[in-house]
């Protein structure tokens, strides 16, 4: 979706006249870098990872149980009467189907993982996007490009990067990676209105979670 939007914007820019391009104002932001600077996001990601680990362990445990049942069935099937053999075979098939359904429930489209992402990460992402929109309106930017990800922007001057301004308006200090332990140290009062842009020197991190926002 992001690639499609970027392609549309590039085509639109290509069709504008030179005078029209000069009249427009542009900026860029690195949403990966912004999210990495928010302790709440690091906490939310840690909680999500814990859910994922627990669900994976749950599935692995059920898989081991099925393997044990299958081994036992294969070892004893030739000794069982036909009706009991058929019943054991059906029970094993039912267990396997339950595992498939549980995998779909936990990790399928619209499943528990998607729901937890929406619950834990999307509210923080929405705050970031709302802040970007606020800056765009205040500064009268025609476009704000997301430079997070290699397919979005091939080159963007630091002069037009508003990432640090977004972080400050969210109430955090640019240049520090957010984490659960340092949240009380990294957060500071949010400045009123738009603050001056601080040029970022921190290398761009890679966090694909930002791209789940719908």
pLDDT of 77-89, one tens digit each? 888 898 999 999 9
pLDDT in tens, 173-199: 887 766 544 443 434 444 333 333 333
What pTM was computed for the model? Answer: 0.64
Given pLDDT bands bounded at 50, 70 and 90, which one contains residue 121? very high
For 68-92, give the DSSP string: HHHHHHHHHGGGS-HHHHHHHHHHH
Six-digit token string for 177: 């990676």
Distance CA 197, CA 75 (A): 71
pLDDT level of residue 210 (50, 70, 90 thresholds): very low
């Amino acid at each position: 979706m992001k690639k499609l939007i970027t392609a549309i914007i590039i085509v639109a820019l290509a069709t504008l006249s030179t005078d029209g391009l000069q009249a427009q104002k542009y900026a860029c932001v690195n949403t990966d870098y912004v999210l990495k600077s928010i302790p709440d996001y690091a906490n939310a990601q840690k909680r999500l990872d814990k859910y994922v680990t627990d669900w994976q362990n749950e599935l692995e445990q059920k898989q081991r149980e099925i393997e044990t049942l299958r081994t036992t069935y294969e070892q004893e099937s030739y000794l069982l009467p036909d009706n009991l053999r058929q019943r054991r075979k059906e029970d094993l098939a039912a267990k396997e189907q339950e595992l498939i359904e549980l995998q779909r429930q936990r990790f399928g489209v619209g499943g528990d993982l998607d729901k937890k992402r929406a619950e834990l990460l999307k509210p923080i992402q929405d705050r970031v996007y709302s802040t970007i929109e606020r800056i765009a309106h205040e500064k009268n930017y025609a476009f704000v490009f997301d430079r997070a990800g290699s397919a979005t922007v091939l080159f963007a001057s630091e002069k037009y990067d508003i990432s640090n301004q977004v972080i400050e308006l969210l109430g955090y200090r640019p240049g520090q990676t957010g984490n659960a332990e340092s949240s009380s140290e990294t957060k500071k009062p949010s400045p009123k209105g738009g603050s001056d842009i601080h040029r970022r020197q921190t290398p761009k991190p890679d966090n694909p979670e930002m791209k789940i926002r719908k």
